[in-house]
Structure 1
């Protein structure tokens, strides 16, 4: 008897559909694992988001914790055309009188005016810069018998000896070379010797022939910048002075004789408010993420990924404890709580900042306000650091969830292998039944013909 090639042909039953439905029922555990994998991966993704938000909170906390990062001072000049300043960590609050008596400059020297077409014979130029002889600049290129002033300029600049050369075309059709020192300051002057011979009987290119007589040339000698700070004379090789810790003063022009410009250094309340706001926003970002992903819908009986998650609750309670606990170093401080600085908690668990109150506290006692903010910045940073480090709650939870996904995936793979065996068994059983029913039908047909 011929074998059955397709299920149901012999019996006339839809055996293929029956096998499909049986296999669907057998795959229920695999589908359940797929649901678990999807839910677990959603949790892993959320903890990745939380990790990013926690890092943002730690960054904001560190800004408050470390004065060097907050740099909560500003320097205001009474006349920015005379002097400007920037302040950083360590700048002491106060008002200073700044008098600029001399601006720093680099040496600037001019050659005589050479007629159009002037050339220079081969040879060398030797500069001494800041008291140190520089390597001689060679003008003895093979096959070269003369050099234009532009070519001399290019060789000087290519040598990079600390002097820059430019060529100016004059209204008379001639040319002058301008040599400028790269650095200002009295110690950074330069000299030029062993000049090149100029054509037409003109003066050789040598420092001894620098033009020092023609009016209108913007010559300059190398000199230091000089200012007086509250009457105390100080100098700098540039026009930037850093004689006061944390304060960088830039001289822009010489002061009227005996008329100092006021420079006020004070706490920059805008920077402090901005830093506190960054902390509040980062805290709220974590709080809202956990809350929105921890809800349970009783109507649909569905829970968000972090509903009942121990790690998420631990993060929330840990940050709440930092916010509400007074750091030990503030036991005798003027301000012990964040609420005294305008940072309070709402009924929804979010932080809110009263900027007006914070500015009032800063204006009244900036040092005390910063002391309190630094303590809470450290407390938040330490807490978040503990959550994010290798043994922290976030790392442990993500590791646990990744292990769960691996277990679920391995179980799925094992079940898939089992499904192949089960389907083979079903098909073998239904094939045997199909063949038997076909045989019964054939026998029945034969008997019907015999007894007709």
Structure 2
């Protein structure tokens, strides 16, 4: 037998003995490793389950959108004449469309210039003021592109300005300055091939007869002679009109309609038409129908999503008695609990009354013995044919007001499904200022041409164009145009309407609510425009109750009170009278409920997070135990090696002694 302990020679195999002993000592560590592997496998299993639940949520969230089940389909008979789209508010039917004229934007051109880059004028600071409006009356010469005896009325959208100076007073510089200003006009340069070929072409970005241009120039005289353009001034039209501003003219079911654009969304309810070509004398049909295919696809997607997650649950906890093999999450009570919560959603009818259906079985969806859903397409089609608009409430969050001038807007996660009484004690109004006397029609520069306007909390100064206005209506249009064109108001999204009655002007904010304000607070033209004591009234928020509790009013919207079942329910009251206004029903469909359940289960406080957190804690504890055990095993192995090394030395010593005695005895025998 070979010597296994270096330098000893006892033939005691210390390494083998210690290895065998340590193998026994390491058995608890092996068991611990198996336990760690089991926990890691469960973490992986929960990760897979979490991914499946996330996919389920994505599917049901898309189905919790009410538009998925209320789509309308619109089909033009001739898409060369018009294309169209529809919203859920469209009414099924067939409409005859006859287009006699397409909407068109005005185009104006300057006189030809020898160069597009040479300076025009002396470079003095010059302001180009663009106003948009309607040209009426008079005659138009298509050869010269000029009007004679016409009138121009501003559309009130606001005067826009562009500054030209020595840095940009060439034709190309003017083009770039106008385009950079983004004022609703695009500029380009056309080379007509003549002796002075370069022409600046100005195109209104918006179509329609109220989008004709009036261009005033203050500053350099040369620029003024090139660009000043007032279609109401027979001798003040420097530009030639190449294309006239026109409305789209068409008929729907024989009713004549005129619109500023070729995209029209307010003629046929819920339908947007995009006119592309005239067909005068040959009407084409526009057919609007319910998009039943989209509803069927939505219901099928719901059934598939539920069945997919049900199969995932089954596979996660499965056990095969033949092979005696269990799935990773078999025995996990948290998985069973989540599955039970998912199933429980389908066990209760949809409450709230926002739709006619309350159970999936009413639209052909039934729960089978194997726990999966099945769809009866014929029954679903019957439900679609009978009550198309109410299917959405079975899947999505939906609301419905019984009053035609009140409408459900939205709800919060705290809103409880139900039917809530609505009472209005105050209607919303807009801030306004009413003059105390008829406005003076003569505006004189530096005398009565400025107004300090306070609109919705924003203040700005505007300057009216001097002159004697033909009527109070014309002056009202000028005031409205200047106010709505002020940069501060445009940036704030605020605007006014200015009207007149018997010469008295009224300014009204287009907003509703307590933040709505409109008044003339100063300026040298305040008294001549509004009189000595204009009556200023701030806007009011709508006020009332939802579910018998005072709601919060903001503009025209009432919001259910905090702590009430109707908390977060928003209802828009657009008109009507004060008093009882019927009820607002709110429902949470099955897809919506599943989405919110997944929010809970996939969140930090959900069962999966709680269980995986517990597993992580156990793994940390096992890791600490493993470290302690590893340290102990190292000490044990060290002790074993020391003990058996000592034993090895002792045995070696005894062997040496034995050999010595044997030799001595042998010698004694020889001597006798």
Query: What range describes the TM-score normalised by the shorter chain of this pair?
Result: 0.7 to 0.9
1:172-226 CA deviation, whole Å, 9 max, x = no partner? 462322111233345544333447749xxxx7344322124xxxx4x132x5556
1:86 is paired with a residue whose SS is strand
Conservation of the 8 A alpha-carbon contact between 1:69 and 1:89: no
CA distance in 1: counterparts of 2:332 and 2:179, whole angstroms: 69
Structure with bigger helix share is 1
Native 8 Å contact 1:163 1:182 kept in 2 = yes
Aligned equivalents of 1:101, 1:332: Cα separation in 2:
44
Could you say what secondary structure the match of 1:167 adopts? Answer: strand
Distance 1:151 1:328, change over 3 A: closer
**Is 1:316 equivalent to 2:318 in the alignment?**
no
Q: 1:209 aligns with which of 232, 235, 238?
A: 238
Give yes or no for the alignment of 1:412 onto 2:626. Answer: yes
Could you say which residue in structure 2 is the equivalent of 1:446? 660
Q: CA deviation at 1:94?
A: 4.7
* TM-score, length-scaled by structure 2: 0.56
1:134-173 matched pairs, under 5 angstroms: 134-141=160-167, 147=170, 149-172=171-194
Deviation for aligned residue 1:168:
1.5
* Aligned equivalent of 2:310: 287
Query: Which residue of the partner structure matches residue 305 of structure 1?
Result: 328
In structure 2, distance between residues paired with 1:371 and 1:97: 33
- Please state how far the C-alpha of 1:305 moved relative to its aligned partner: 0.6
Name the counterpart of 1:220.
244
The residue that corresponds to 1:267 in the other structure is 290
Question: Using a 3 Å threshold, how does the CA distance of structure 1 residues 331 and 178 change in structure 2: closer, same or farther?
Answer: closer
Map Cα deviations across residues 404-451 of structure 1 (whole Å, 9 max, x no partner).
Answer: 222222222222222222222222222222222222222222222222
Tell me, in whole angstroms, the C-alpha distance in 1 between the residues paired with 2:622 and 2:269: 58
1:403 maps to: 617
Distance in 1 separating the partners of 2:281 and 2:348: 52
Q: Is the 8 A contact 2:131 2:215 kept in 1?
A: no
Equivalents in 1 of 2:269, 2:43: separation in Å? 45
Report what 1:380 is aligned to: 594
| Deviation for aligned residue 1:249 | 0.9
Give the Cα–Cα distance (whole angstroms) in 1 for the partners of residues 249 and 604 of structure 2.
Answer: 55
| 1:451 match: secondary structure | helix
Instruction: Tell me how far apart the structure 1 counterparts of residues 174 and 388 of structure 2 sit (CA, whole Å).
Output: 60
Q: Distance in 1 between matches of 2:163 and 2:390?
A: 62
Cα distance in 1, alignment partners of residues 30 and 89 from structure 2:
63
CA drift of 1:335 comes to 5.4
Contact 2:98–2:281 at 8 Å: present in 1 too?
yes
Contact 2:250–2:256 (CA under 8 A) maintained in structure 1: yes
Q: Does 1:128 align with 2:130?
A: yes
Instruction: Give 1:247's match in structure 2, choosing from 243, 266, 270.
Output: 270
Q: Once the two structures are superposed, what CA deviation does each residue of 1:107-166 show, in whole Å capped at 9, x if it has no partner?
A: 32112344568943333461324464444432313xx9x84x334423433444432211
User: 1:196/1:451 Cα in 2 relative to 1: closer, same or farther (>3 Å)?
Assistant: farther
Give 5+ residue unaligned stretches, structure 1.
Answer: none
Relative to structure 1, the CA distance from residue 309 to residue 118 in structure 2 (aligned partners, 3 Å threshold; closer, same or farther) is closer
Output one character per residue of 1:304-341: Cα deviation in whole Å (capped at 9) or x when no partner: 21112212222333333334x24153999875543453
How much is the aligned-residue C-alpha RMSD, in angstroms? Answer: 3.8
Any conservation in 1 of the 2:32–2:626 contact (CA below 8 Å)?
yes
- Residue 358 of structure 1 corresponds to 380
Partner SS for 1:204: helix
Q: Is the 8 A contact 1:75 1:263 kept in 2?
A: yes
The structure richer in strand per residue is: 2
Q: Note the alpha carbon deviations across 1:273-310, whole angstroms, 9 max, x for none.
A: 33223323322332232323323344654322111221
Q: State the alpha-carbon separation in 2 of the partners of residues 363 and 261 from structure 1.
A: 27
Q: Secondary structure at the match of 2:206?
A: coil
How do 1:49-60 residues align onto structure 2 when only pairs under 5 Å count?
Answer: 49-60=48-59
SS for the counterpart of 1:307 is coil
- Mapped partners of 2:651, 2:296: distance in 1: 87
C-alpha distance in structure 2 between counterparts of 1:153 and 1:333, whole Å: 57
Q: Give the Cα separation in 1 of the matches to 2:6 and 2:304.
A: 66
Distance 1:445 1:276, change over 3 A: farther
> Is residue 94–residue 287 contact of structure 2 (8 Å, CA) maintained in 1?
yes
1:371: how far off?
A: 4.0
Name the structure 2 match of 1:182: 205
**TM-score for both structures, normalised by structure 1:** 0.79
Matched, 1:108 2:107: yes
Q: Secondary structure, in 3 states, of the residue corresponding to 1:419? A: helix
